[in-house]
Amino acid sequence: MAYTRARRVLPGFGLSLGFTLAYLSLIVLIPLSAVFIKAAGAGWERFVETVTSPRVIASFELSFGASLLAAAINVVFGLMLAWGLVRYTFPGKKLVDALIDLPFALPTAVAGISLTAIYAKNGWLGQPLSLFGIEVAFKPLGVLVALVFIGLPFIVRTVQPILEDLDAEFEEAAASLGASRLQTFRRVVFPAIVPALLTGFALAFARAVGEYGSVIFIAGNIPLVSEITPLMIITKLEQYDYEGATAVASVMLIVSFILLLIINGLQAWTARRSGRSA
């Protein structure tokens, strides 16, 4: 009997790999390489001088610090929100579920203007908060609020499917063996959702680091106080300082890549550990 090769929907490995690498190079690798090449054009001394200036360092601290903190906050409250949507039925559940995706659909500029109006000193929330000495708009706290707003859907939408697929029989078995609710969550539920939480954290962090539209209005853009790194890049581009803009952007790319690599490594390690324990 003559051997008949199985027909596949996709082409062979060689053609698929070549097309994938070509597409990836055109969309990702070449533009990123251009950033580093342009940044290197001014020389090492100019590069170091640009990225170590006090104003740029302050923007790095605010952008990366606020992004990490916002992603961590969203992990906690996003998990609680996903848990409530999956495990409970309440009036307006579908409306709440739809509102979670609002930061995806809402233009970032509209989100920034809305948050600024709400958290300004004369806003709905800003006015009562100011009575306690808490200022949100035009402060670093405002940057954090905006980043929490745009990052929440990433946590909810990555954890929600895992909770829906998690068999309740495991929790019931743990309860029948005398485990408390906290022990059941810590030993049964939490290990199963850790990879999804890390994925959501990485996505929320990556979105927050490069966020511009929703932050630019509420930040106030005060140098050394509430100036984010994307604004620094835009400012240098407006001043035709292309080498300085690409230098700041390259540092941002490197730090973001390292942090995401660490998060992905933790996710892979957690997945392997969960597989061995199962």
DSSP symbols for 242-264:
HHHHHHHHHHHHHHHHHHHHHHH
Higher pLDDT, 274 or 154: 154
Give a yes or no: residue 129 inside a domain. no
Q: Which long-range contacts (CB under 8 A, 24 or more apart) does 225-228 make?
A: 225/58, 225/139, 225/140, 226/62, 226/138, 226/139, 226/140, 226/142, 226/143, 227/55, 227/58, 227/59, 227/62, 228/59, 228/62, 228/63, 228/143
Give a yes or no: residue 134 inside a domain. no
Higher pLDDT, 1 or 16: 16
Question: What CATH number should be reported for the domain holding residue 72?
Answer: 1.10.3720.10
Domain range spanning residue 188? 38-92+149-213+225-277
Tell me: pLDDT of 1 over 50. no
* Across 251-274, average pLDDT: 80
Higher pLDDT, 270 or 72: 72
Give a yes or no: residue 161 inside a domain. yes
Q: What pLDDT digit, counting tens, does each position of 181-234 carry? A: 777 777 778 888 888 898 899 889 988 988 888 898 898 888 888 889 998 999
The span from the CA of 276 to the CA of 278, in Å, is 5
Tell me: pLDDT of 262 over 90. no
The token duo for 210 is: 């490069």
pLDDT of residue 276: 61
Residue of 85, 74, 112, 63 whose CA lies nearest to 202: 74
The span from the CA of 46 to the CA of 3, in Å, is 65
Q: Which ranges of the chain does DSSP label H, i.e. alpha helix?
A: 13-24, 30-40, 44-51, 54-87, 93-99, 102-105, 108-119, 126-130, 140-165, 168-176, 181-184, 190-209, 213-219, 229-238, 242-277
* Across 248-262, average pLDDT: 87
Q: For residue 269, how far is the Cα from the chain centroid?
A: 20
Give a yes or no: residue 185 inside a domain. yes
Give a yes or no: residue 267 inside a domain. yes
| pTM (predicted TM-score) | 0.83
Give a yes or no: residue 85 inside a domain. yes
Q: What pLDDT digit, counting tens, does each position of 47-91 carry? A: 888 899 999 999 999 999 999 999 999 999 999 999 989 888 888
Exposure letters 168-177 (e unless 16+ CB within 10 A, then b): eeebeebeee
Give a yes or no: residue 115 inside a domain. no
Read off the pLDDT band of 26 (50, 70, 90): confident
The span from the CA of 149 to the CA of 101, in Å, is 11
What single letter denotes the amino acid at residue 119? Y
- Structural domain count, the chain: 1
The span from the CA of 201 to the CA of 136, in Å, is 24
Percent of the chain with pLDDT strictly greater than 70:
92
Give a yes or no: residue 140 inside a domain. no
The span from the CA of 174 to the CA of 192, in Å, is 14
